[in-house]
Amino acid sequence: MKAIGVLTSGGDSPGMNAAIRAVVRYGVKNGLRVFGIERGYCGLIDGAIKEMNFASVAGIMEKGGTILRSSRCGEFLTKEGREKAAKNLAMLGIEGLVVIGGEGSLTGSVVFHKEFGVPVVGIPGTIDNDIAYTDMCIGVDTCLNTVVDAIQKLKDTATSHERAFIVEVMGRESGYIALMSAIATGSEAAIIPEVPVNLDQLAARLLEERKRGKLNCIIVVAEGAAKAEDVARKISAKIGYETRISLLGHIQRGGSPTAFDRLLATRMGVRAVQALLDGEKCVTTVLSAGKIEVMDTEKILSTKKQLDLSLYEISMILS
């Protein structure tokens, strides 16, 4: 193998730049030409591809987002679009691809490999932490720290005014962010997709805590479980607190990556290049028991990652 490409696809996550840096520099050190593909699969189709070197990735590790930019590409869902992408790779002599992204991005990599035989190594970059077989995905730790910081600040004003705050966080199908941030901030409840919630029972519990003199109340809601406005409408009159809503939104995706995410992204970037050099065809890097390994991407995608619900019980007990 003489040339590889790297792209970031789907929602951005802090640490993607560190992964790009590792892929470029480790690839160049191993005698490869490394090409950066802009705007994910859209850039692959449009030919927005440029060769990168050590200088191209200088000073990017500490930056959030992705210097290659990202997109969600409808055209890549078509056979014609993927054929254009394959022709662009062949024209530049690119023989392998590193795809940094979440479930949709990894799914695209499998289809592309099956149709055109291009070796593809995935790197899981998604703040939802919903990719199976990896303990953590790139960006999760930074996102969680951002959410915790925001909730702690809301807690200050909630205590000052004796209010309840209902905080909506990202997580369409996974309650990881909501649950972990609730535990880390001592929040009164986490409403997550994995566990049905009885809002009447929750309101009754919060009212009892209010009667015992509790000065604030924080409820963290994953967007896939409920909308903060709906929760507020159903319980605000029953819990004994004046209620406010806070939607954290896309602030959760941004910011300089934590040391953990920089290290994870760097290790996964190096392992991805090594996998291509070793002749792997369609695998994804995973963090397992502290080690970076590669696993068959189809196997990963066919398995739904399960949230450790013992942590949910802990959050209920300690709240």
C-alpha–C-alpha distance, residues 319 and 316, integer Å = 5
244 is in an annotated binding site: yes
Which residue out of 128, 130, 141, 261 is catalytically annotated?
Answer: 128
314 is in an annotated binding site: no
163 is in an annotated binding site: yes
Burial class, 164, CB count within 10 angstroms (exposed 0-12 / middle 13-18 / buried 19+): buried
DSSP states of 173-193 as a string?
A: S--HHHHHHHHHHT-SEEE-T
205 is in an annotated binding site: no
33 is in an annotated binding site: no
25 is in an annotated binding site: yes
Query: Tokens 């995410």 — which residue?
Result: 261
59 is in an annotated binding site: no
> Using an 8 Å Cβ cutoff, are 318 and 310 in contact?
no
DSSP states of 235-288 as a string?
A: HGGGSSSEEEEEE-GGGGG-SPPPHHHHHHHHHHHHHHHHHHHTT--EEEEEEE
209 is in an annotated binding site: no
Q: How many CB atoms lie within 10 A of CB 151?
A: 23
> Using an 8 Å Cβ cutoff, are 209 and 188 in contact?
yes
Name the 3-class secondary structure at 166: strand
31 is in an annotated binding site: no
Name the 3-class secondary structure at 219: strand
Tokens of 259: 């040391």
Amino acid present at 255 = G
104 is in an annotated binding site: yes
23 is in an annotated binding site: yes
% helix / strand / coil in the chain, to the nearest 5? Answer: 45, 20, 35
- Between the CA of residue 91 and those of 86, 87, 288, what are the distances in Å? 9, 6, 37
291 is in an annotated binding site: no
233 is in an annotated binding site: no
> Using an 8 Å Cβ cutoff, are 199 and 234 in contact?
yes
Tokens of 15: 């640490």
290 is in an annotated binding site: no
250 is in an annotated binding site: yes
168 is in an annotated binding site: no
Is 156 a residue of the active site? no
240 is in an annotated binding site: no
Longest dimension (CA), the chain: 71
Binding positions: 11, 21-25, 72-73, 102-105, 126-128, 155, 163, 170-172, 186-188, 212, 214-216, 223, 244, 250-253
By annotation, the residues acting in catalysis are 128
Binding positions for ADP: 21-25, 155, 186-188, 212, 214-216
Binding positions for ATP: 11, 72-73, 102-105
Binding positions for substrate: 126-128, 163, 170-172, 223, 244, 250-253
